[in-house]
Amino acid sequence: MKTIQKMLATIGIGAAFCLGATFPAASAFADVITLKNGEVLDGTVERDEADFIVIKITKNGKVETRIISKDDIKKREAAKPAATPATKPTTPAAPSTPAAPAKPAEKNGQEAKPAPTGEKTASAPSGEAKDPKASTKPSDRALTGRAMRIAFLNFGNPLRDQGAGGDMVGVHVSAKAFRDVLPILEKEKVDIVVIRINSGGGYTLEMERLSSLFQDVYKQKFRTVAWIESAISAAAMSPWVLEEFYMMTNGNIGGCTEFAGSAHRPTEGAALEVRLSQMERFSRLAGRDPKIMRAMQIQEPLSCTIDEFGNVTWFQDLTGEIIVNRAKEVLTFNAPMAVKTKFARGIADTREELASAMGLTEYEFVAEEATKMMDRYMLEAQRIEESMREMIRKYQLAINVAAGLPREERGPEVGRARKHLGEIKKMVDLNPNFQFHFGIEFSPAFFAEQEQILRDLMK
């Protein structure tokens, strides 16, 4: 696996990092940063946080923004005072963002302006531009200058939706929905799928389905990345097979201890070992040290040391230089620590920032239909969750009423019961887990039995 260090070295982040008008322009200052790998960055530090800095540099005539972990910095010196005033903070919503990056196409299907022949994109390894028609592979497209087509799929409704729609894995978030949306992604010739995660977890059963789908299908067809707002428990485990994680500023990921219903029923013994082993395998599929997930599942300490070349060595104890998880706690990562330890490749709060963090300069956001389909699924699943018990009671009411009537008068009430039963079946069909989620086994045999009851009422 490419180390994060190598990725950072090859990535030129095109878009300016959004700070909004709350960030005073006067705090930008010119610096010369020497990294531990020898690279020297001469530019303007736009943001200086506890664990990372954001610096704008000019490279090959293009302005790039780099996010640098402070652990990678060997030396920092003030540059000679610049004659020009400090740049104002940029706003991604405003179309007039300065300098290098090509603006993303605003509508699906619009081709962004291709790079001139022979010009290399910042994310491309060295090599000559190829005939755009020669290959449709995402990796080849990066070389051809064609815009990368990025689709966003929500895994749990974003916080900004104020609780509309749900986020439970296995209830509102399901592998079925992610599978159903594939034809749209393929039709739209999507190159990159971003799984935007805001979820507190859910069913382990569904986690396994999602992991398999991401590993066996998504990763084979698309560059698939996780973009984390909050990914707890099964929501962290489901995408664990993905190699690329990006965090939002407020992002958090971890807390993967399994239990059955309450704190009094933790997974233990052989079942726990099976789960730990499974996640070790998922870690290997992602090229990730399995100690990280282990500290998210059980109370294991975790630390790491980053050498002068930026390589991270993990320890399942506290002997490393950076304490990541204390002994009696269960790990949940936050964004700065995730980036510092190179678990995550970058921090991004907007789609444009994410594209830049992924090393893209030519891109377009596509497949809005797929995004909406996933969102509609979550909303519908939430509606079902809220109304299923009510529907069951209405069904029971109709049956009881019918049973209390003379046979010749039962027709309308049996019809009503059948209608409610049909609604219940439709609800269950949305998500296979609904067969058991409500405490009633909604199996095919159940529905067959109910149909028989309704027929018997009419005899």
Where on the chain is the footprint of another protein (CB under 8 A)? 18, 20-23, 49-50, 88-89, 91-94, 158-160, 162-163, 200, 230, 232-233, 248-257, 259, 262-266, 298-299, 328-337, 349-350, 386-387, 389-390, 393-394, 397-398, 401, 405, 412-413
Residue that is written with structure tokens 């239990």 in the block: 259
Q: Which run of H or of E encompasses 340?
A: helix 335-340
Shortest gap between Cβ of 372 and another protein (angstroms)?
Answer: 17
Smallest separation (angstroms) from another protein to the CB of 168: 13
Sign for the CA dihedral angle at 246, 196, 144, 56 comes to negative
As to burial, measured by CB atoms within 10 angstroms (0-12 exposed, 13-18 middle, 19+ buried), residue 248 is buried
Instruction: Kindly tell me which of 185 and 235 has the beta carbon lying closer to another protein.
Output: 235
Distance between CA atoms of residues 244 and 240, nearest Å: 9
Q: How far is the CB of 389 from another protein (least distance, A)?
A: 6
Decide whether 125 or 163 has the Cβ nearer to another protein: 163
Q: Closest approach of Cβ 265 to another protein, in Å?
A: 8
Nearer to another protein, 126 or 262 (CB): 262
In the bound state with another protein, the residue whose beta carbon lies nearer, of 184 and 194, is: 194
Residue 330 C-beta: closest distance to another protein, Å = 4
Residue with smaller CB distance to another protein, 12 or 254: 254
Structure tokens at 399: 């049956």
* 3-state helix, strand and coil shares in percent for the chain, rounded to the nearest 5: 40, 25, 40
Tokens of 81: 């005072």
SS3 62: strand
* Distance of closest approach, residue 408 Cβ to another protein, in angstroms: 14
- Give the nearest distance from C-beta 390 to another protein in angstroms: 4
Rounded to a whole number of angstroms, the minimum distance from the CB of residue 257 to another protein is 4
HSE-CB for 61 with a 13 A CA cutoff: 3
Report the number of secondary-structure helices (H) and strands (E) in the chain.
Answer: 15, 17
The CB-of-1 to another protein minimum distance in angstroms stands at: 25
**C-alpha separations of 263 from 102, 199, 260 in Å:** 51, 19, 8
Nearest CA-CA partner of 358 in 5, 1, 7, 2? 7
Q: Coil, helix or strand for 241?
A: coil
User: How far is it, in rounded angstroms, from Cα 294 to Cα 310?
Assistant: 23
Dist. CA 26–CA 88, nearest whole Å: 8
Which of 370, 381, 372, 332 is CA-nearest to residue 228? 332
Judged by beta carbon, residue 60 or residue 299, the one nearer another protein is 299
What the block records as the tokens of 294 is: 């282990």
Integer Rg of the chain from CA: 26
Minimum CB distance to another protein, residue 393 (Å): 5
Q: Which is nearer to another protein, 80 or 264 (CB)?
A: 264
Amino acid code (one letter) for 277: S
Copy the structure tokens of residue 380.
Answer: 């519908």
Nearer to another protein, 5 or 199 (CB): 199
Q: How far is the CB of 25 from another protein (least distance, A)?
A: 10
**At what angle are helices 269-286 and 290-297 packed, to 10 degrees?**
140
Give the single-character DSSP code of 259.
B
Report the candidate in 242, 208, 217 with the shortest Cα–Cα distance to residue 228.
Answer: 242
Our CB check for another protein shows the closer of 152 and 178 to be: 152
Which residue's CB is nearer to another protein, number 1 or number 263?
263
Of 190 and 232, the one with the shorter C-beta distance to another protein is 232
